[in-house]
Structure 1
Amino acid sequence: MSDPAPTRLGESLKGLADSGLATLQTRLELFSVEIKEEKLRAGGFLFDTVLAALFIGFGVIFLMAFLTVLFWDSHRLLALGLGTTGLFIAGVWAATRAAGRLRSGSRLFASSLAEIAQDREALRPRE
């Protein structure tokens, strides 16, 4: 006579455990997708940055050589001094911008953390 109640209780517990594990699996899959997206974004950013730095660096070198040759007879020291000053200012600007990007942090796991917060809020007892 007492067999049906434990069976229903056992099935309910199994269903609850299954739901919990399904939710956990979904959250872990979301973490995995976010890690892959972040890796792709970082790799693309690094590639573009290195390529841009290479081309801009060569461009600046050729521009400085051109200006130095152009002003060789009259103002070669002025041309070299202005070019050097401009490059130092650009370097300080780039370093400041890079430091700002580092300080701003990453959005890694933002979606997952928001979903987990929603899950916790949904499971809190209502008063």
Structure 2
Amino acid sequence: MATSQGPAQRLFGAGKRLLGSLLATGETRLRLAVLELEEERARLFGLLLLAGLSLILLLLGIGVLTALVIVAFWETHRLVAIGASAVVLLGSGLLMALRVMQLARRRTLLAGTLRHLATDRDLVEASREPR
């Protein structure tokens, strides 16, 4: 024998389905956030490794180049060569520091998750508007 549901039971059932949908959507977004964090961690590790190696090689190259310039002008203009090398190195270091600060201000962490959450919010708001 089929039992008929009253309005309160149908409302309760609809609420449970809505809650289940919200939980499923939240779980999907949380999984996306975790995946993005893992990808970002791997990317940062590779980036730090490459940056460290490039800094070591760059430091060695700059040292050799500075020594070459100073030795080349040792007899005639050694102080000018030392001063010019110092100015070039300090200026380059300052420009690189400014570029690093500019890159550090960019927001990339969880960009995909935030974009999907904004899409979800727009869809919910669009469904609430009267047609």
Pair 1:5-2:8 in alignment: no
| TM-score, reference length from structure 1 | 0.84
Superposed displacement of residue 16, structure 1: 2.9
1:51-70 equivalent positions in 2, closer than 5 A = 51-70=53-72
Distance 1:91 1:52 in 2: 14
Structure 2 residue identity aligned to 1:115: H
Matched residues in 2 for 1:79 and 1:31: separation?
53
1:39 aligns to what? 41
SS in structure 1 at match of 2:5: helix
Deviation at residue 11 of structure 1 after TM alignment: 4.7
Written as runs of structure 1 = structure 2, the 5 A alignment for 1:1-127 is 3-5=3-5, 9=10, 11-103=13-105, 105-124=106-125, 125-127=128-130
User: In percent, how many aligned pairs have the same letter?
Assistant: 32
**Counterpart of 1:111 in structure 2: which amino acid?**
G
Aligned-pair distance for 1:126? 1.6
Paired with 1:106 and 1:121, the residues of 2 have a C-alpha distance of: 22
How many residues of Structure 1 are paired with residues of Structure 2 in the alignment?
A: 126
Cα displacement (A) at 1:37: 1.6
User: Under a length normalisation based on structure 2, what TM-score does the superposition of the two structures give?
Assistant: 0.82
Distance 2:14 2:3 in 1: 14
The one-letter code sitting in structure 1 at the alignment partner of 2:49 is F
Instruction: Quote the offset at 1:13 in angstroms.
Output: 4.0
Deviates more, 1:110-119 or 1:57-66: 110-119
- How far apart are residue 19 of structure 1 and its match? 2.0
Secondary structure, aligned partner of 1:33: helix
Can you list the C-alpha shifts for 1:44-65, whole angstroms capped at 9, x where unaligned?
2222211111111111111111
Alpha-carbon RMSD: 2.4
Q: Determine the C-alpha separation between the residues in 1 that align with 2:84 and 2:50.
A: 29
Unaligned runs of 5+ in 2: none
Instruction: Work out the CA distance in 2 between the residues paired with 1:121 and 1:96.
Output: 37
